[in-house]
Amino acid sequence: MRRSGALEILVKPHMLALTILAVLLAGCATTRTDATIAHPGPRLDDRQIVHLLSRMTFGPRPADVARVRAMGVDAYLETQLFPSQLDDTTTERALESLPTLGLPLAVLLHDYPRPDPAVLAKIRNGEVSRREAMAMLPPETRPIRIVTEMQAAKMLRAIESERQLEEVMVDFWFNHFNVFAGKGEVRWYVGTYEREAIRPHALGRFRDLLAATARHPAMLFYLDNWLSAAPDFTIPAGPARGRKSGLNENYARELMELHTLGVDGGYTQQDVTEVARAFTGWTIDRPRVDPQFVFRPRMHDDGEKVVLGHRIPAGGGETDGERVIDILVRHPSTARFIATKLARRFVADDPPPPLVARVASTFTATDGDIRAMLRTIFTSPEFYAAPLRHAKVKTPFELVASAVRALDGHADVRAAQQLARAVGEMGERLYQATSPTGHADRAEAWVSAASLLARMNFALALSAGRYPGLRLGLDKLAPGVDRSTPRQTLDRLLAVILHDDVTPETRAVLTQQVAITDANDTRTGSSADRDRLAALVLGSPEFQRK
Amino acid sequence: MIPRRALLKGGACALVALGSTPRFLVRAAGAATGTGKVLVAVFQRGAVDGLSMVVPYGDPACAAARTSIAIKPPARGDGERAIDLDGFFALHPALAPLAPLWSERTLAVVHACGSPDPTRSHFDAQDYMESGTPGVKSTPDGWLGRSLQARPSGTSPFRAVAIGPALPRALRGAPGGLAMSSIERFDIPGAPDTGARQGFEKLYAASARSDRLPAPTAPDPVRATGKETFDALRMLQAADASRIAPANAATYPSAPFGQAMRQIAQLIRANIGVEIAFAEMDGWDTHVAQGAERGQLAARLGELAAALAAFTHDLGDRMADVVVLTMSEFGRTVAENGNGGTDHGHATAMLVLGGGVRGGQVYGRWPGLGRERLYEGRDLAVTTDFRTLFAEIVTHHLGIRETSRVFPGWPATGPALGVMR
């Protein structure tokens, strides 16, 4: 592994002071050559550990800070980067009660069938909406179950998994390579897409990830590439037999705009058309029975293509698409685009350009090694810079998971499903982002009156114990308000939930609230007051940030 | 006696903060914020095929380029076919609910309208259409937000309201811009007692400027939005907006867009000072199996038309002060693609309806669909910059003379369309 990141910092004069400080703090930086150069190493204070956990995981559990302090930040980072070493059987066991989760595609299509052809015809001519048609099916075998169980599984993993960074990256990459579970066959395909295309490569190599998504039926269907064919291709069999087919640009454009180069990455409409030609014939075999990737030479446009100045000779067949993937992965715009998105996720909505440049050079130097890019970020001085702490507003999914984790909560699948619904009410419908852009990763997408009210309502419901199947550690963490020392409960809550990183204004308002009791409340006074205080802390402006 | 405006500026908020807004004041706030005019912007996300929405059947190249998705030209007495507008253009048959508005001249069409920027990226093109600055990504706010900035200041937290979980780009920068998922859900029903709700309110009112950062440079948007949320909550409850049912037997589609339009009508009829409303609808990105008189696109158009028609029925005479403008980030290829769909194109059609609209006419110069007339050899060319249309509405409907403030860096040359009286 190279030290290019640190060397680059050294040549930037304004970064010099920070770097020297970091190196001094790192002190006896020992065996990890690539990780310990630029960051404060084992000497992170608790506040920095909280910061790291709030970005790298779905929020710290109460015991996490001490745990990371004890094992050392580097060791923690490395175990998270290699999650298979971490035992996660408890999470996996909890997920076993979701029947659709591990099923192969062929079984899902058989056991959770589509509406019958007569109803489908009505959908096609607009007599009934897809939603209405789906509602006619028996509830226990409705295809929508596949999606709701995935939502529950995603929520449960974020809350429970020991492999937090992996879950964060699965969320990140799914969103980067978004497919919409509401579009046609994607509702059946979406589970295996995450399981087989995203998860195995979430901490691996970008090229493998890209290639896996390009070949997965979910992406082929969502962005229509499965239908794209050489001009004037005549469909040889099936219900559309004899119909002409031809080129479809949808995947080609989003592949460059959203998956690799970025919209300003330097491609033209001509490149879009050429890339679309290269991917003709990449399609789905038996899409409604046992969907598999297949290359159909007869659909393929076998002529020469020129993509971003690279000539792809005629006759390449299936390899044309692989050539395009190689060209795109090696393009400097891709390194910059992926670096920017990673830095936006982990550092700030508008991440510091020098950091983005270093992450991009890590991409280039390591051939798109995702672990190496993450190390560059988590060991950078920019990551720990005080002005960027709390700079990110939590997404709804992060808010819900972090609230449950802050209260040391444990969810069963039923609770997880309800929590996922709460995430949807805040504006983030899991697996249901319709556009290929996915969900936004900027504050303005999540800060709105509608979303804030939903967040406050969630905080109230959570602390009042209104999620059956969710066990919170609140009684242990902060016993009920003792009327002789009401401040103690508040202090405990602020320590547990906000790690005492709270504005004087918020503390003052909450202190006033401690005194308020409500005559209407029929429950035993002290824990109701504690629950209300906990809700206020979870719904506070501070807890909306990470 | 206190002058009314002064009372509204200083006093309304104070009263609102006490939680006992008198109804007269709620009504007065609506009346005081400008002229009582309302602009409703409808975004068709995903790029609607303008050539099927408003069919240029008089241009033979249109049907020629489309083997399976061409809309049949109008024929008297045949409701399956396009609805003739002027002998050259026709409405898609699914837009039949809007035909009466055309006849009574409150519906106009602007065709071959779009952005001067060549992008075929949904994201960028939507961003440009909402920022109002094609080609410029750094614009921090939206054209509807700046329109409000240019109007006389009002006190209502509902001056600009979007139905949806997030404030759209177009409304950014609006004083009093607000996103609500629904009127019914705009509340804290989960509070076990009033203490919790007051606690939240105080938390967000505490200081909109403070954060844990050493030197906050700008107001924390989380706190600022929270504070506005509680102002809005009080006003909405004082106006009892959730009790307002559709009037004139208007029936809205149950799908999200129909319900968004229903709620916008509710908010307008609650007289709480709405000046700009925003709703959106997706499902227009028809790369595959677009359909013709029936099918995927027809279903979406049918939903759009039913919702807009219900909205005009519901508001009745109030429509005299309301303009609805539809927009979409770009159009679609003239030629059908290989899968019975259309790919990303350039110009599209936009609908304008309501009071003050010179309806019953299709505006804009038709560039033609002959191969040599197409944009980049494949798409309908833009002959009307979308800003020409938007600026005309901003000027004539919202009364803003300085459109340079709303559309910075745009010279606004060229003749007006004349779509607004």
- pLDDT grade, residue B29 (50/70/90)? very low
Task: Please indicate if any CB of chain B lies within 8 Å of the CB of A84.
Answer: no
Determine contact, residues A301/A327, Cβ cutoff 8 Å: no
What percent of chain A lies above the pLDDT cut of 70? Answer: 88
Per-residue confidence (pLDDT) for residue B8, from 0 to 100: 38
Statement: residue A536 has pLDDT above 60: yes
Task: Please indicate if any CB of chain B lies within 8 Å of the CB of A520.
Answer: yes
What percent of chain A lies above the pLDDT cut of 90? Answer: 74
Instruction: Give dist(CA B331, CA B341) in Å, integer.
Output: 13
Per-residue confidence (pLDDT) for residue A482, from 0 to 100: 59
Q: Tell me which of A219-233, A304-318, B321-335 is least confident.
A: A219-233
Statement: residue A211 has pLDDT above 80: yes
Which residues of chain B does A502 touch, with a Cβ-Cβ cutoff of 8 Å? 212
CA-CA distances (angstroms) from residue B311 to A309, A510, B91, B162? Answer: 52, 45, 19, 16
Q: Which of residues 88-117 of B touch A (CB under 8 A)?
A: 94
Determine contact, residues A257/B297, Cβ cutoff 8 Å: no
Are the Cβ atoms of B343 and A249 closer than 8 angstroms? yes
Are the Cβ atoms of B46 and A520 closer than 8 angstroms? no
Nearest to A456 among B200, B338, B343 (CB): B200
For B198-204, what is the mean pLDDT? Answer: 92
Which residues of chain B does A246 touch, with a Cβ-Cβ cutoff of 8 Å? 337-339
Per-residue confidence (pLDDT) for residue B79, from 0 to 100: 80
Torsion of CA A382, A387, A392, A393, to 10 degrees: 170
A491 contacts: CB under 8 Å, gap ≥ 6: none
Coil/strand/helix, residue A327: helix
Q: Is A202 exposed, middle or buried (0-12, 13-18, 19+ CB in 10 A)?
A: buried
Q: Which of residues 223-252 of B touch A (CB under 8 A)?
A: 223, 225-226, 228-229, 232-233
Please give the span between the terminal C-alpha atoms of chain A, in angstroms, as a whole number. 30
Which residues of chain A does B337 touch, with a Cβ-Cβ cutoff of 8 Å? 246-249
Chain A interface disruption, residue of B223, B230, B231, B272, most A CBs within 10 A = B223
Q: Which of A337, A326, A214, A173 is nearest to A265 (CA)?
A: A337
Coil/strand/helix, residue B4: helix
Residue B73's H or E segment, with its range, is: none
Q: Which of A175, A64, A104, A101 is nearest to A432 (CA)?
A: A175
What percent of chain B lies above the pLDDT cut of 70? Answer: 88
**What phi, psi does B363 have (nearest 5°)?**
-100, 160
Per-residue confidence (pLDDT) for residue B42, from 0 to 100: 98
Statement: residue B5 has pLDDT above 90: no
Statement: residue B144 has pLDDT above 80: yes
Per-residue confidence (pLDDT) for residue A129, from 0 to 100: 74
Instruction: Give dist(CA A453, CA A278) in Å, integer.
Output: 48
Report H helices in A57-181. Answer: 64-71, 73-81, 89-95, 105-111, 117-124, 130-135, 144-160, 164-176
Are the Cβ atoms of A244 and B338 closer than 8 angstroms? yes
Q: Which of residues 313-332 of B touch A (CB under 8 A)?
A: none
Coil/strand/helix, residue A198: helix
Statement: residue A371 has pLDDT above 90: yes
Residue B21's H or E segment, with its range, is: none
β-bridge mates for residue B326, sequence order? B42
Long-range contacts formed by B134-139: CB under 8 A, 24+ apart: B134/B387, B136/B409, B139/B408
Listing DSSP states for B344-400 in one string gives B-S-EEEEEEETTB--S-EES-----SGGGSBTTTBPPP-EEHHHHHHHHHHHTT--
Classify strands B38-44 and B322-328 as parallel, antiparallel or unpaired. parallel
Are the Cβ atoms of A245 and B339 closer than 8 angstroms? yes
Task: Please indicate if any CB of chain A lies within 8 Å of the CB of B196.
Answer: yes
Statement: residue A417 has pLDDT above 60: yes
Which residues of chain A does B97 touch, with a Cβ-Cβ cutoff of 8 Å? none
- DSSP code of residue A93: H
Task: Please indicate if any CB of chain A lies within 8 Å of the CB of B199.
Answer: yes
Coil/strand/helix, residue A293: strand
Per-residue confidence (pLDDT) for residue A449, from 0 to 100: 93
Nearest to B337 among A247, A444, A466 (CB): A247
Classify strands B107-114 and B384-385 as parallel, antiparallel or unpaired. parallel
Q: Which of B10, B94, B24 is nearest to B52 (CA)?
A: B94
Nearest to B229 among A248, A449, A461 (CB): A449
Tokens of B353: 């309806």
What is the interface pTM, i.e. ipTM, of the complex?
0.84
Instruction: Give dist(CA A236, CA B341) in Å, integer.
Output: 20
pLDDT tens for A132-168 read 777 777 888 888 999 999 999 999 999 999 999 999 9
For tokens 């780009």, the residue is B169
Are the Cβ atoms of A451 and B226 closer than 8 angstroms? no
Per-residue confidence (pLDDT) for residue A17, from 0 to 100: 42
Q: Which of residues 325-364 of A touch B (CB under 8 A)?
A: none
- Residue B268 amino acid letter: I
Nearest to A427 among B166, B200, B222 (CB): B166
Neighbours of A90 (CB within 10 A): 12
Query: How would you classify residue B295: left for phi > 0, otherwise alpha for psi between -120 and 50, otherwise beta?
Result: left
Listing DSSP states for A414-431 in one string gives HHHHHHHHHHHHTT--TT
Q: Which of residues 199-258 of A touch B (CB under 8 A)?
A: 224, 227-229, 231, 233, 244-250, 253, 257-258
Task: Please indicate if any CB of chain A lies within 8 Å of the CB of B80.
Answer: no
Are the Cβ atoms of A449 and B339 closer than 8 angstroms? no
pLDDT tens for B325-342 read 999 999 999 999 999 999
> Which carries the bigger pLDDT value, residue B90 or residue B22?
B90
Per-residue confidence (pLDDT) for residue A128, from 0 to 100: 77
Chain B interface disruption, residue of A50, A389, A452, most B CBs within 10 A = A452
For A196-224, what is the mean pLDDT? Answer: 97
Task: Please indicate if any CB of chain B lies within 8 Å of the CB of A79.
Answer: no
Q: Which residue of A has its CA nearest to B340?
A: A245
Classify strands B384-385 and A233-234 as parallel, antiparallel or unpaired. unpaired
Residue A244's H or E segment, with its range, is: strand A244-245
pLDDT tens for B342-396 read 999 999 999 999 999 999 999 999 999 999 999 999 999 999 999 999 999 999 9
Instruction: Give dist(CA A256, CA A271) in Å, integer.
Output: 9
Are the Cβ atoms of A126 and B194 closer than 8 angstroms? no
Nearest to B210 among A253, A257, A503 (CB): A503
For tokens 């914020």, the residue is B33
Are the Cβ atoms of B121 and A452 closer than 8 angstroms? no
Give the distance from residue B161's alpha carbon to the nearest chain A alpha carbon, in angstroms.
Answer: 10
> For the whole model, what pTM was predicted?
0.86
Q: Which of B36, B33, B26, B38 is nearest to B235 (CA)?
A: B26
A242 contacts: CB under 8 Å, gap ≥ 6: A234, A235
Per-residue confidence (pLDDT) for residue A18, from 0 to 100: 43
Please, what are the domains in chain B? 1-30+193-239 (no CATH), 33-187+248-405 (3.40.720)
Give the distance from residue B390's alpha carbon to the nearest chain A alpha carbon, in angstroms.
Answer: 24
